[in-house]
Amino acid sequence: MIITAKQFYKAWFEAVTEMKSSLAPSWRNAPVFTKLIKSSGDCVIRRVADKVSLKCYPTDYYSLDAVLYEDSDLVPSAPAGSTWLRSMSVAFEHENFIKSGVYKEVSHLLLTSADLRVLVAYPEDGITDDVWIEMHKLIRGSRYEQRISEEESFLLIFGGEVGYEWEAYVYKTADWARL
């Protein structure tokens, strides 16, 4: 099942809205906030997976922060109770500090084979033109650029502490398109 950027963002927005009472007070405490987003028993990415009818591996999977998949993506001969995938629906990266090198997250997602690649980040002072241009150039030069643009398979979600605001953008060849 292919999850579109719009479907993912809708589920994301619903999940972060449901968890606002936990997320908002922890916004500036990166370890606690990150655990609420991924890795905890009841975290945002697990809720997103439930909302889009996918399974979730919410901890590092080949250095991805989380992955969403369906049962048919599991390797059939893998030992019971293990998670070995042969494909995935969503590759997910979460970056608390966007200025620490967003190129690392974008390039990591570009090297990952998934139906949808998602990066969630929290720009403190907004996204400068330089950051937009840098992220766009990384994708624009890749050999999968056209397909990513046509399929809208690279999603950026930005969270803002003030007003608890969320914005989503998909990569397009000409520019980023806001959802």
Cβ pair 152, 133 in contact under 8 A: no
pLDDT given at position 126: 66
Interacting residues of 106 by C-beta distance below 8 A, sequence separation 6+: 119, 135, 138, 139
Contact 171, 136 (CB under 8 A): yes
Going by pLDDT thresholds of 50, 70 and 90, the confidence category of residue 128 is low
Three-class secondary structure of residue 33 per DSSP: helix
pLDDT in tens, 3-48: 999 999 999 999 999 999 999 999 999 999 999 999 868 999 999 9
Report how far residue 179's alpha carbon sits from residue 176's, in angstroms, rounded to the nearest whole number: 10
User: For 74-86, what is each residue's pLDDT tens digit?
Assistant: 999 999 888 999 9
Query: pLDDT at residue 100 above 80?
Result: no
Q: Please check whether residue 66 is in contact with residue 48, taking contact to mean a CB–CB distance below 8 angstroms.
A: no
